[in-house]
Amino acid sequence: MSAGGLAVGGVLVVSWYAAGLPSIAYLQENYQPSLITKVYADNGQVMGQFYVERRILTQLDDIPRHFINAVIAVEDTRFFDHPGLDVWGIFRAAWANLKRGGKFQGASTITQQLARSLFLTPERTFRRKVRELILALKMELILTKKQILEMYLNQIYFGHGAYGVGTAASTYFGKGLDKLNLPESAFLAGLPKAPSTYSPYNNYERSKKRQRHVLDRMAQAGFISKTLAGAAAEIPLAFQRQSFKHVAPYFLEDVRQHMVREYGVTMAYKGGLQVLTTLNMPMQRLAERAIGKGLRALDKRQGWRGPLRHETSPVTRPKDPPDTFPEFGKIFEARVIGVSDREATVIAQNVLGTIALKDMRWARRRVPEGAASVIEATVFPLTSVTQFVRPGDVIEVSLKSKRNYKVRFRLDQTPVVEGALLAIDPRNGAVRAMVGGYNFERSQFNRAVLAVRQPGSAFKPMIYATALAQGMTPSSRILDAPVVYHDTETGKIWKPENYEKRFFGPLTLREALRHSRNAATVRLLDQTGIQAVIDFSRSLGIQSPLSADLPLALGSSGVTLKELTAAYGVFGNNGLALDPYTISTITDPGGRILEQHFFEPRQAISQETAYLMTDMLMDVIQHGTGRRARAIKHPLAGKTGTTNNYRDAWFVGYTPYLVTGVWVGFDSMNILGAVEPGSRAALPIWTEFMAGALKAFPAKPFTIPEGIRFAEIDQKTGAPVVKPNRRSITEVFAEDTIPRSPAPATADPLDFYEMDEAGI
């Protein structure tokens, strides 16, 4: 065949192999590898990452010269001289492969490796190799050597989830690129050839051998001297394995869902976005600790569910002393290996320890296997450890103490009850802490924002605030007495009762709310009007469906914790409502703002109504159902919530700086029990969190609006008092509602009242 024929044939072969290859023209201006999207807390601390490939885009000018030299020396010494393929390198590799009888491989230039990484599969075939060469030649025609090298160093995989040199430096050494020294650079440069093989965590000696090879190649290429190469190889490498742990998982998942919804999966996971959120890390840690502690305490009060299982296999006692100890505050499994009347000997996380009888006493209340409810728990006299555990039982424990290698555990159990906490700055709507459940790994359902549950008495402030907005005052009177409501359509009869199973006669609104009187609140709802309360609730931001019936007074309509917490925040923010938000700004890798939150406050209710409600809710904490919170030396306002069936327990309360809501209950709608109202199940969690969170704020009183007046009145009649006496009290009023003369009770004195259109 003639030379011309060979040329034509060669062109046809190349054309055949090049068919279907992607266009690479866009690389010159629009190279955009898959980047990490980083999520930051309000102080700029990274709290989460979304990615497909964990990569930090780095400019070539920011990469140390000795690292660039190390890569060139070990991967492609003639990089700056060849046009994309190294002919002499190919001949050398081919000869070596022929002698070994292997496939055609090796001698790939940096440009070829980049082409393969960007456009091709890693399969080792002749066809893939030819296509790789064609792409490399094209890339060299449209890109500069500097551009190719920068793309390569950002694209290649270094192992352990690290793509690109920027991520590799932090993954292996916990430092930025500018802090890398020569030995570290040589180590990293040797990884891309086989990241798993040369991982220091898999085989340290092999990784050191690879590092020495890179240093020797650098010396051969003239980048460093042989003496320096030898000295660098002897320097120990201090690895700091990075295992990034997401914090605030429920909050982070809420942010992720927003980003996927607004920008799509590709942008959220590959776009390298920078997401600044409202989360306060110290508050979040306090919230998670408070929820964990509170739910564990409640779960123990419910009763012990017994050993997890029984094992008969032989057990080996661990060596003494142990190298590591279990963490305080964690619950983990333990195997019982011996029992006596006074203690049990157990092995937990390969540590030998004991559980004293006194650290098992809570297990006297035990839930029988197969019981439908914790109410069926039975109380046993606990006089000996042998009553409840035996060798071979696997139980749950937590670390109590360790001293001189003597370890003591306490009997524990993972709660089955759930809870949620949400903390918002009422001044701007920023969500500062969010816990959506006991354990995100167990359940990703976010109860702080998604669960619609009956708020019980925690909804009552909506009724009382509506009455205040209509002109009533904290000293206005309502009757707390037996009443029967008859629904003529269904024929059902409803008789609201108080928690104490008795009634208290005429009460002021302040007294009725302070002690959460059900019958009085139902009468108040009837008087103010159901639709008026629904409209008022809507103005506070509650969007969940509300039933237009009198049981609404007792919180029969489900709402979310987010809705209720934000609504209380309106009371603490002088009547101004701001929608809760979690994201302050989102920017792209170039710094362009994609999203920014702007405050849009609205005057939802009057300042006077907001302050009157706050003053009454402060009384709930000082003298009512929220008394357990009095230990916090800040002005506080709040309300407990307990549903009639004891399936939900709430506490929502606030200061001028922070409004926090807590919900506790079972996902299965099981009963918490009559001994677990909001004041016992939810309030301790709220108090634990707020006591820590408010340390960052001065004790600031709530702002008193100009239209608020204080007046002395007779506590029995509500009439104004000229001269204070033993029967007089100081009450707060909106200026135009100060009583001028004794007022009659506003309550309906009838014990039976038929309604034509009321629901049940």
d(C-alpha 422, C-alpha 287), whole Å: 8
Q: Dihedral of CA 519/520/521/525: which sign?
A: positive
Active site residue 556: no
- Positive or negative CA dihedral for 323, 327, 330, 336? positive
Q: Is 511 a catalytic residue?
A: no
Q: Are 411 and 355 in contact (CB under 8 A)?
A: yes
3-state secondary structure of 652: strand
Looking at this protein, which amino acid is placed at residue 463?
Answer: I
CA atoms of 511 and 498, how far apart (whole Å) = 14
Token pair for 500: 């104490």
Q: Phi and psi at residue 103, in whole multiples of 5°?
A: -80, 165
Residue located via tokens 């009023």: 733
- What are the C-alpha distances in Å from 162 to residues 155, 251, 253, 519, 668? 10, 25, 23, 64, 42
SS (H, E, C) 376-436: HCEECCCCCHHHCCCCCEEEEEEEEEEECCEEEEEEECCCCCEEEEEEECCCCCEEEEEEC
| Pairing outcome for strands 351-356 and 431-435 | unpaired
Q: How many CA atoms lie within 13 A of 593 on its CB side?
A: 8
193 and 158 Cβ atoms separated by less than 8 Å: no
Longest dimension (CA), the chain: 125
The CA distance from 760 to 750, in Å, is 19
Report d(CA 37, CA 31) in Å as an integer.
Answer: 17
Alpha-carbon distance of 417 to 559, in angstroms, equals 19
Sheet strands side by side (includes 157-159): 54-55, 162-163, 157-159
**Nearest 5 degrees, angle CA 458-CA 487-CA 649?**
20
- Name the catalytic one among 75, 343, 396, 676: 75
CA distance 167 to 177: 9
Radius of gyration of the chain (CA): 35
Which one from 108, 199, 398, 457 is the annotated catalytic residue? 457
Rounded Cα gap, residues 681 and 302, in angstroms: 11
CB neighbourhood size of 7 (10 A) = 10
- The catalytic site residues sit at 75, 457
